[in-house]
Amino acid sequence: MKVLIVDDEKNIRELMGTYLKLDAIESEGAENGLSAQRLLRENHYDACLVDLKMPGMDGLSLIKWIRNEGFRMPVIMISAHGEIHDAVAALTSGAQDYIVKPFDPEELSIRLVKLIESQNLQNLVESDQRTQTGTGKLIGESRPIQKIKKIINKIAETPATVLITGESGTGKEVAARQIHAVSLLCEGPFVAINIGGVPENLIESELFGYEKGAFTGAESRKIGMFELASGGTLFLDEIGDMSLSLQVKLLRVLQEKKITHLGGTTTIPINARIITATNKSLETMIREGSFREDLFYRLNVVRIEIPTLRDRKEDIPLLAGSIIARLNRQMGSSNRIEGVTPEGIQYLKEYSFPGNIRELENVLERAAIFAEQSMLSEDDFELRGIVLHEQNVLPGKPTDLDQNNTEPKTLKKIEEEAMIQALHRWEGNRTKAAGELGISRRTLINKIAEYGLNI
Ligand SMILES: Nc1ncnc2c1ncn2[C@@H]1O[C@H](COP(=O)(O)OP(=O)(O)OP(=O)(O)O)[C@@H](O)[C@H]1O
Ligand SMILES: [Mg+2]
C-alpha cells in the first residue's frame, strides 16, 4: 500500500510518514500541488492525503484536479480546526473523508486502510460486472485438478505470468480467480477483461487508458486496466482473439513493465500479475501466423491446462453437489433438491459433456426446475450430446468415448460419432436424427456427404 502525502509543512509530512510506516503503509511526500501533480502522473498511489491550506495551488483545487483527471484513488483531506466549512467543500469536490489536525495516528491508518479496501472492492465489483461471471472455487479432487491446485499454490508467492488453456466451460476463469485469491496480491484488485467481447478499437483504450483529448470523444482522462489492476491481477480472457497489432503492444508492456496512456507522454510503471486464458491453440495460431511467438513465450511462463469434464468424471459428484447447493440457495425453499441418485450420477458419467462444467450446470439447473422428487435421477436429465449408456451402444459401432481410451479426440471425430449414433437410433431417418442433434436436416445431409458416411 502506498500513499501520497501532500502538505507544505515538512514536519507534518514526516510525522505522517512515520506513523503510517508503523502500520506498514508506504508513503511519499509532496510539498505543493504542482509536485503532487507530477508524482501522481508518474507513480501509482493507493490513496492521497491532501492538506487544505497550502501556498500556490490549495488542497481544494488539487482534489478537483485529481478527480478531473480521472484518478480513482481515495482522497483524505487534512484540515485544521475551524476550517470545517472547507472540509465540507472538499467532500463535495471529490474527497472521501477528512481528518482534523492534530490527528490521532491510529485513526488515520484505520480510515486509510478502510477507504483503500473499499476502493479495491469497487474495482473488483466493476470488473465482475464487466465479465458477468461469479467467483466459484476450484472444486475437484481428481488427479489433474490436484495437480493444478499444487501449481497454483506454488506460484502464489511469485508474480509469474500464467497462461490458462482448456476447452470452453472447463473453468479457466475460476482458475484465474483462484490464483488471485491465494496469491500475495489477493488484497489487490482482480481486474478482468474479455478480449473477444470488447470491440477492437475499445480494447486498447480500456487497457492503456487515455489522456483528455487523445481522440474525439476522450472528454476526460481515463485510467486503463493495467493501472487499475496495480498491486493485483489483470486477467486477459480470450487472448487468442487479440489482434496482431495489439499483441505487439502487449509484448512491449510485458518487456518494459510500464505503459503510457493513449495521447500521453509520461510512463506509468505496471506491477500487476498478468493471467491470460484461451480455448484456442496458440501453438496452432503461431504456425498459422496469427499469434506472435515472442508474446507466447512471455505469456506461457506458467502453463495451466484445465482438463475437460470427460477427463475428470470422478469429480462429477463433487461438482454436482456444489452446483445443487448453489441452485438451492438461488431457488429458495420451494424446490429443494437433495442430490442425485447413484444411477443418475452414473448416467452423467457416461455423458461426453462437450460444454464441460457449464453444461453440467445447465443440465442440473433444468433438472432442478422440473424435478418431481428431491433426488434427481436419470429421467430428469436432458442430454443433447452423445450418451454412451449401455442400451444406446450399438454393437460394432464406434463408441470409443469410454474412459479407458486416452487417445485425444478431435471435434470432427466426436461430431462424426454423434451423427452415426443418432442415425442408427432413428434407423437412418435424417429428419429425426437432425432433430436430436439440434441441427437442420440440410446441415446433416451436407455433413454426411462431407464425412462420406454410408448410412
Ligand atoms: N472447478 C470448478 N468448481 C466449481 N465450478 C466451476 C469449476 N470450474 C468451472 N465452474 C463453473 O463452470 C462455469 C464455467 O466456468 P468458467 O467461466 O471459468 O469457464 P471458462 O473455461 O472460462 O469458459 P469459457 O471458455 O467459455 O469462457 C462457471 O459457471 C463456473 O462457476
Ligand atoms: Mg472464460
Q: Which atom of ligand 1 is nearest to the CA of 133?
A: 17
Helices (H), 187-273: 200-208, 225-228, 244-256
Residue by residue, DSSP assigns 399-422 as -TTSTT--S---HHHHHHHHHHHH
Topology given in CATH for the domain delimited by 2-118: Rossmann fold (3.40.50)
Indicate which ligand has the atom closest to the C-alpha of 280.
Answer: 1
In three-state secondary structure terms, 287 is: helix
Return the minimum-mean-pLDDT range out of 26-30, 264-268, 379-383, 402-406.
402-406
Counting residues of the chain whose pLDDT is more than 90, the rounded percentage is: 47
Domain boundaries defined on the chain: 2-118, 133-307, 311-380, 390-451
Q: Whose CA is nearest to atom 3 of ligand 1?
A: 139
392 pLDDT band (50/70/90 cuts)?
very low
Which residue has 497454483 as its cell numbers?
Answer: 152
4 lines ligand 1 (CB under 6 A): no
Q: Cβ distance 340 to 375 under 8 Å?
A: yes
pLDDT > 60? residue 406: no
Q: Cβ distance 39 to 33 under 8 Å?
A: no
Q: Whose CA is nearest to atom 23 of ligand 1?
A: 169
- Average pLDDT over the chain reads 85
197 lines ligand 1 (CB under 6 A): no
Cα 270 to ligand 1 centroid, rounded to whole Å: 28
169 lines ligand 1 (CB under 6 A): yes
| pLDDT per residue as tens digits for the range 45-66 | 889 999 988 888 889 899 999 9
CATH 1.10.8.60 given to domain 311-380 = yes
DSSP tag of 427? T
Strands 26-30 and 2-6: parallel
135 lines ligand 1 (CB under 6 A): no
| pLDDT per residue as tens digits for the range 218-265 | 878 888 999 999 889 999 999 999 999 999 999 999 999 999 999 988
Indicate if 133-307 has the same CATH topology as 2-118: yes
Q: Cβ distance 162 to 179 under 8 Å?
A: yes
pLDDT at residue 333 in the model: 64
DSSP tag of 164? E
151 lines ligand 1 (CB under 6 A): no
- For the ranges 39-43, 134-138, 394-398, 440-444, the maximum mean pLDDT occurs at 39-43
pLDDT at residue 391 in the model: 43
Residue by residue, DSSP assigns 57-120 as S-HHHHHHHHHHTT--S-EEEEEETT-HHHHHHHHHTT-SEEEEES--HHHHHHHHHHHHHHHH
| Residue partners of 62: CB distance under 8 A and separation at least 6 | 6, 33, 36, 37, 50
pLDDT at residue 132 in the model: 35
pLDDT at residue 397 in the model: 40
pLDDT at residue 218 in the model: 80
pLDDT > 60? residue 402: no
pLDDT > 90? residue 313: yes
pLDDT > 60? residue 167: yes
Reading the block at residue 312, the C-alpha cell is 475428470
CA–CA gap between residue 344 and residue 317 (Å, rounded): 10
Nearest to 320 by CA among 294, 296, 346, 295: 346
| pLDDT per residue as tens digits for the range 111-135 | 888 888 777 666 655 544 433 333 4
pLDDT at residue 184 in the model: 85
Q: Which CATH number fits domain 133-307: 3.40.50.300, 3.10.20.90, 3.30.930.10, 3.50.50.60?
A: 3.40.50.300
Q: Whose CA is nearest to atom 15 of ligand 1?
A: 171
pLDDT at residue 393 in the model: 42
pTM of the entire predicted model? 0.62
DSSP tag of 340? E
Average pLDDT over residues 422-444: 81
173 lines ligand 1 (CB under 6 A): yes
Topology given in CATH for the domain delimited by 390-451: Arc Repressor Mutant, subunit A (1.10.10)
